[in-house]
Structure 1
Amino acid sequence: MRKRVEKSSKEKVDKVDSVIEEDNVNVTSKTADDYQCSGNLELDFTELCKLMGVKKIPSVKLKQSKPVMEHNQSQKSLESQRTTWSSEPCLEIELENEDQSKTVKISGWKVDDMMLQVLSRTLPSLSNFQCLHMWRVGLTDCTFASLRNTVSLCSNLRKVVLDGNPLPEQSYHLLIGEDSMLTDLSLRNSHIGEEGARLIGSSLSTVPTANKNLLSLNLAFNSIGDAGANHIAQGLRLNRSLLCLSLSHNQIGDEGATRLAEVLGPFALTHEEIVERRKLLIQVEQSVIQPSLVSLADSQDQPLSVRSSSSLDRLNKIAKNTTKKKDNPKKEEKPAPAQVAKKEEPKVVKKDDKVPRSQAGKIGAKDKNLPVSEQETVEVVETVIPLLDPGIVHTGGKVIHPGNTCLTSLNLSGNKLTEQSLKLFLSSLEGQGEGGLLRLSLNRNRFPSDCDIFLKIQEMMALRDPLNKNNTGQVEDEHGELKTTSAA
């Protein structure tokens, strides 16, 4: 009897040991490829670091976003925000809701290839991930390529900050290609030179292509110089999305500033641009391009540049008729045929609801409250083909474009500008009329602060700047950031 009891207890122990061994085998056999991200960054990041064998796993710090904070604690929260940056490996996560990560900040520690593999798995799984800050994380050309792929997988990511990350190949332009959905990009203090500026300028626009989503680009504290500024100006010729551009502290002199000033005012089209313009006019004539892709608002106020062109005349008539149909749908006696209606209906709204709010002008934040018919009209006005701008004229054997009037803020402080380039800026600003720049920063350059031309430009900007009401305005600090000050 005693032997039977000992035998049964021994069998139970053996079964328990076998179960434990099987569980250990299952745990050790689980890899990062088998892990399914839950959308909780704190949980997924830590678990993937363990599975991939990261020796020192960075800590994760959570904080609520500003709208969630109590009003009486807002000042304390801002102070804590400045002190949360640490040289120790750490992920700072800003939550919009209880479990939705809106912003991820990494600061001051090297992000190697293994860590980027972890981020490439966790970040795309976040449903409301909108902003990525990576300041001085030691990016290389190889890790940047991996980061770029991760950025492209994050469907809601709109802002990327890569300050203090110099790359030997200067391939930052890959983040703002034609298909990029980013609206804000900051590349301060990244040793960007002429070649990097050339690549960025080409990404902003060339004759056949242009970036359509980037609204803000910060290139402060680099080494772009005159040659690089020329490339950036070239990219601004046919770009109609960029609103804010900072080139402060970039060793830019009068030569580079002159190119930037010229593109803001009327400029002559090159031979390549004229050829492309003719191709577009033929496409309009053949109805390959929808008339709605040309600014309807401008076509009512300004005559088309080529009076003899039947395509442009027809385009102007269609533009007016389309606008009347939208404004007075009940007054139409005979409805248009179904095929024509489909042809004139703008597909921009259905295709992409995230069209930048200012591709062809300054559309205010009230657009969301407009009726459906007015929202459609706004979408049509926003979509513009620069080479079909109705303000283009023929004079002196040249085709003159009215210039880039979509850029609203330009920062050239801390460079090498003299009074020579100031004259060109003043001339371009006067030629812009009511549109164009609302803010131009020219402080800390090589001209006296009491220079007549500079004072005249400041006076003109003060009248234009909507942020300058009630004797208040915005100036840029030594880091290129905007801060509000009171006028003396």
Structure 2
Amino acid sequence: MQYSNRRLTKETLTTLDLSHNEIGDIGAQHLANILKNHQTLTTLELSHNRIENNGAQYLYDAYKENKTLIKLNLEGNPGSCCSTVSAAIQIRNDKSITKMDLHGKSIDDNAMKFLTDTLINNETIIELNLSQNKIGHIGAKYLSGLLQTNQMIFIMDLLGNHIGDTGTQYLANVLQNNATITELNISNNGISDVGVQYLADMLRNNTTMIALDLSSNAITDIGAQQLFNSLETNKVGL
């Protein structure tokens, strides 16, 4: 890491590739400390190293102070937050992005905090794909907080996560008054009739949702009846 430190202090360096090495959280911390004040580096490649969540946190804190970094690649690192830190930087710098695809990135509840903090004030992304990750009810709570503020996301895909009935409750509560989400996929999330009741209550008030995917859950006849009853008063045809 001493070599990279010397190079990073040069004000002419714009790209640094350290991919496929053995850099861990300590190395990430050294890089983060330099990034806070470095004014020319635009691309930092750190894919396929050994950076865990602590290292991702160091880099995330540094990026909030750094004004020039455009791309940070943390793909192939073991930390669950690495993908969302990279996405956060991409979102900040690329105002043309309308779809964020984070399918199958091993994103868990901790990683969701990074992502939702970044998206709160975003005004371009209308479709968010978080399918096949490890998001639980805490991650769903972060998402519900995001949807209270963000008025741009129309489509959200949470297929194949672990939000369960509690996570469904968080989402249903905010979607009762949300006027932007039109499509929600929460298939294969361990949702039972309890979670369906929250969704049924939401659908009685929601006026924008046109597609709701609940396939491959644990819904019985009771839950199905709850949904059917809610459709009698729902003003938008699912």
What TM bracket, shorter-length normalisation?
0.5 to 0.7
SS at match of 1:245: strand
The Cα of 1:31 is off from its aligned counterpart by 3.4
Q: Report if aligned partners of 2:99, 2:127 keep a CA contact under 8 Å in 1.
A: yes
Residues 193-212 of structure 1 mapped to structure 2, 5 A cutoff: 193-205=164-176, 210-212=177-179
Is the partner of 2:100 in helix, strand or coil? strand
Does the 8 Å contact 1:197/1:224 carry over to 2? yes
Are 1:136 and 1:165, in contact at CA under 8 Å, matched by a contact in 2? yes
CA–CA distance in structure 1, aligned partners of residues 121 and 114 of structure 2: 11
| Separation in 2, partners of 1:114, 1:108 | 9
1:26 alignment partner, one of 10, 21, 30 = 10
Residue of structure 2 in register with 1:219 after alignment: 186
Hey, what's the Cα distance between the residues in 1 that align with 2:211 and 2:107? 26
Q: CA deviation at 1:124?
A: 1.6
Gaps of at least 5 residues in structure 1 are: 1-21, 38-42, 58-105, 266-402, 409-488
Whether 1:191 aligns to 2:158 is: no
Runs (4+) off by over 6 Å? 106-109
Report which of the two structures shows the higher radius of gyration computed on alpha carbons.
1
Question: Does the residue aligned with 1:31 lie in a helix, a strand or coil?
Answer: helix
CA distance in 2, matches of 1:255, 1:120: 41
1:178 aligns with 2:181: no
For residues 114 and 203 of structure 1, the distance between their equivalents in structure 2, rounded to whole angstroms, comes to 28
Partner of 2:215: 248
Structure 2 vs 1, CA of residues 35 and 135 (structure 1 numbering), >3 Å: closer, same or farther? Answer: farther
Q: 1:32 and 1:122, CA in 2 relative to 1: closer, same or farther beyond 3 A?
A: farther
The match for 2:56 is: none
Unaligned runs of 5+ in 2: 1-5, 14-30, 50-73
Contact preservation (8 Å) 1:220, 1:248:
yes
Aligned-pair Cα RMSD in Å? 3.1
TM-aligned CA distance change 1:32 to 1:48, over 3 Å = farther
TM-score normalised by structure 1 residue count? 0.35
1:66-215 equivalences under 5 Å are 112-114=80-82, 116-176=84-144, 177-180=147-150, 181-205=152-176, 210-215=177-182
Q: In 2, are the aligned partners of 1:178 and 1:211 still within 8 Å (CA)? A: yes
Seen in structure 2, the aligned counterparts of structure 1 residues 48 and 153 have a Cα distance that, compared at 3 Å, is farther
Q: Which has the higher helix share?
A: 1
Could you tell me how far 1:204 is from its partner in structure 2? 1.0
Matches of 2:127 and 2:184 in 1, distance apart?
10
For 1:404, which of 228, 234, 237 is the aligned residue?
Answer: 234
Task: In structure 1, give the amino acid aligned to 2:182.
Answer: L
Question: Is the CA contact 2:47–2:76 (under 8 Å) kept in the aligned structure 1?
Answer: no
Distance 1:114 1:243 in 2: 33
**Is the 1:171–1:199 Cα contact (8 Å) retained in structure 2?**
no
1:171 alignment partner, SS class = helix
Give the 3 Å change call, closer, same or farther, for CA 219–242 of structure 1 in structure 2.
same
Equivalent residue letter for 1:223 = G
